[in-house]
Amino acid sequence: MVERSPWGVKLVSEPEACQPLYRFPGAVAGPSAAAQGNYLSAPRKESLYAIPLAAVFLAIVIVPFIRVVAGSLTDGSGGGLFLGNYRKIFTTPAVLRSIRNSLSLSVWSSLLGGVIGFFFAHVIAGMKVKAQRLLIAVNTLPLTLSAVVLAYGFLVVFGESGVVNAFLKHLGPGSPPLRVNILTIGGLVFVYLIFQVPLMTIILLSAMLAADPHIEEAAMSVGANRFRILFWVTVPGLAPALFGGFFLLFINAFGAYATAYSLVGANMNLVTLKIVSQFSDVGYDPGIANALSVMIVVLDTLFVVGYRLSMERVKRRRE
Partner 1 sequence: MRGKLVRLAANLLVVVVVTYYLIPILSIAAASFTVQWSREGLPRLVGTSGYREFWDTFEFRRSLWVSLKIAPIAVVLTLLTVVPAAYGIHVSRNKLLKSAADVFITLPLCLPPLILAVGLLQSYGKDPFTLTGTIWIVVLGHVVLSSPYMYRSVSANLQMIDTETLVEAAKSCGASPPTILAKVIIPNLGPGIASGSLLTFTTSFGEYQLAKMVSGFLNQTFPIKIWEASKRVTRVQFAMSFIAVAIAFIFFILITFAFTKSRIREEKVIV
- Separation between Cα atoms, residue 192 and residue 194, nearest integer Å: 5
β-bridge mates for residue 9, sequence order? 4
Q: Is residue 202 at the binding interface for partner 1, with CB under 8 A as the rule?
A: yes
Q: Is residue 289 at the binding interface for partner 1, with CB under 8 A as the rule?
A: yes
Is the CB of residue 278 less than 8 Å from the CB of residue 289? yes
**Which part of the chain contacts partner 1 (CB under 8 A), choosing from 9-17, 76-84, 99-107, 199-207?**
199-207
> Is 185 or 311 the residue whose CB approaches partner 1 more closely?
311
- Site size toward partner 1 (CB under 8 A) is 95
Q: Is residue 286 at the binding interface for partner 1, with CB under 8 A as the rule?
A: yes
> Is 5 or 279 the residue whose CB approaches partner 1 more closely?
279
Tell me which residues in 164-193 interact with partner 1 (CB under 8 A): 164-167, 169-170, 193
**Residues 177-182: contacts with CB within 8 Å, 24+ apart?**
182/154, 182/155, 182/158, 182/263
Q: Is residue 156 at the binding interface for partner 1, with CB under 8 A as the rule?
A: yes
Minimum distance of partner 1 from residue 214's CB (angstroms): 22
Q: Is residue 130 at the binding interface for partner 1, with CB under 8 A as the rule?
A: no
Residue 180 CB coordination number (10 Å):
16
Minimum distance of partner 1 from residue 106's CB (angstroms): 12
Tell me which residues in 204-233 interact with partner 1 (CB under 8 A): 205-206, 226
- Separation between Cα atoms, residue 288 and residue 271, nearest integer Å: 11
Minimum distance of partner 1 from residue 284's CB (angstroms): 12
Tell me which residues in 46-105 interact with partner 1 (CB under 8 A): 46-50, 52-54, 56-57, 59-61, 63-65, 67-68, 71
Minimum distance of partner 1 from residue 137's CB (angstroms): 5
**Which part of the chain contacts partner 1 (CB under 8 A), choosing from 6-14, 44-52, 86-94, 173-181?**
44-52
Tell me which residues in 4-43 interact with partner 1 (CB under 8 A): 42-43
* H helices present in the chain, as ranges: 15-18, 31-47, 51-57, 63-74, 84-89, 93-125, 129-140, 147-158, 163-171, 185-210, 213-221, 226-229, 235-254, 258-264, 271-278, 286-318
Q: Is the dihedral of CA 17, 20, 25, 29 positive or negative?
A: negative
Candidates 133, 179, 228, 318: give the one binding partner 1 (CB under 8 A).
133
- For 126-159, the DSSP string reads TS-HHHHHHHHHHHHGGGGS-HHHHHHHHHHHHS
Is the CB of residue 113 less than 8 Å from the CB of residue 139? no
> DSSP state, 14?
-
Q: Is residue 266 at the binding interface for partner 1, with CB under 8 A as the rule?
A: no
Q: Is residue 144 at the binding interface for partner 1, with CB under 8 A as the rule?
A: yes
> Is 166 or 215 the residue whose CB approaches partner 1 more closely?
166
Is the CB of residue 193 less than 8 Å from the CB of residue 112? yes
> Is 88 or 169 the residue whose CB approaches partner 1 more closely?
169
Candidates 103, 107, 300, 306: give the one binding partner 1 (CB under 8 A).
300
> Is 79 or 142 the residue whose CB approaches partner 1 more closely?
142
CA dihedral (191, 196, 199, 202) in degrees, to 10, reads -100
Minimum distance of partner 1 from residue 87's CB (angstroms): 20
